[in-house]
A = this chain, B = another copy of it.
Amino acid sequence: MRRIRITVAYDGTEFHGWQVQPGLPTIQGWLEQILTGIESAPVQVHGSGRTDAGVHAIAQVAAFDLKNPIPCDNLRKAVNRLLPRSIRVTSVEEAAADFHPRFQAKEKTYEYRIWREEICPPMRRLYVFHHPYLLNEEAIRAAAPLLEGEHDFTAFAAADEKDELGRSKVRRIFASAVWREGGELVYRVRGSGFLKHMVRMIMGTLLEVGKGNLTEADLLARLQPGYPAKSGPAVPASGLCLMNVEY
């Protein structure tokens, strides 16, 4: 049995997220269906983590086991021929037998893009959150690096994030920065891992700072263990993209 590691790019617009859901198009579902056909036996695909419905990826990482001896290059081409054009396998390689894309991920990078002008170009609409309203962008830029370091992100996790006993909500953020690219405000965050909805709730909280509804002190308070409420609200999925997973 070979363990194969793949890198996957996708336009999340038309999918119900990464994870298999019976009867709904998902990225994992498409990959498993095609690989099961190639293997003539059930193939389970394990991602570095789930992405929500509508979230995009430049380089999601996943792995699966295969008996079929097909060379990696041919497998990439075969899978891409069968996938919709909104999903592309950008690399296929042999991995160590114990490679696990979720448990061994060391860091992940996400970007969140906000279109700031009144009119959102039709060809950008699926890849940004359109928010043309007044914001103190300088305050957002200044607040973003406060997330860096090791913090308890309980306040930045979806209400239904699993509350397993002993499963820590402490994560380390290596870099957290905001800048402008033309009409877009870009937030890039690199961390050891992310809870469900975490990036979108951080972005939503930074927007509250930009609106003057929260101060830097309020943001820091939400990073203290035992903070009593959920932060947010989460911003829409369309602006979010998984850029990279490091091992």
Which residues of A are at the interface with B, using a C-beta cutoff of 8 A?
A: 9-11, 56, 58, 80, 85-88, 90, 119-123, 125-127, 130
User: With A and B bound together, what is the CA distance between A9 and B125 in angstroms?
Assistant: 12
Please give the distance in Å from A172's CB to the nearest CB on chain B. Answer: 29
Majority-rule SS of A interface residues: mixed
How many copies of this chain does one complex carry? 2
23 pairs from A and B in contact (CB 8 Å cutoff): A9-B119, A9-B121, A9-B122, A9-B123, A10-B122, A11-B122, A11-B123, A56-B122, A56-B123, A58-B121, A80-B119, A85-B120, A85-B122, A85-B130, A86-B122, A86-B125, A87-B122, A88-B119, A88-B120, A88-B121, A88-B122, A90-B119, A123-B126
Please give the distance in Å from A11's CB to the nearest CB on chain B. Answer: 4
Chain B residues whose C-beta falls within 8 Å of the C-beta of A85 in the assembled complex: 120, 122, 125, 130
User: Which residue of chain B is the closest to A77 with respect to CB atoms?
Assistant: B118
User: Which residue of chain B is the closest to A10 with respect to CB atoms?
Assistant: B122
User: With A and B bound together, what is the CA distance between A80 and B143 in angstroms?
Assistant: 33
Q: Which of A58, A123, A126, A127 counts the most B-chain CB atoms under 10 A from its CB?
A: A123
Q: Which of A11, A122, A125, A127 counts the most B-chain CB atoms under 10 A from its CB?
A: A122
Chain B residues whose C-beta falls within 8 Å of the C-beta of A80 in the assembled complex: 119
Chain B residues whose C-beta falls within 8 Å of the C-beta of A10 in the assembled complex: 122
User: With A and B bound together, what is the CA distance between A244 and B17 in angstroms?
Assistant: 37
Contact, CB under 8 Å: A127 / B123: yes
User: With A and B bound together, what is the CA distance between A3 and B125 in angstroms?
Assistant: 30
Question: What 17 new A-B contacts, CB under 8 Å, besides A9-B121, A80-B119, A85-B120?
Answer: A9-B119, A9-B123, A10-B122, A11-B122, A11-B123, A11-B125, A56-B122, A56-B123, A85-B130, A86-B122, A87-B122, A88-B119, A88-B121, A88-B122, A90-B119, A123-B126, A123-B127
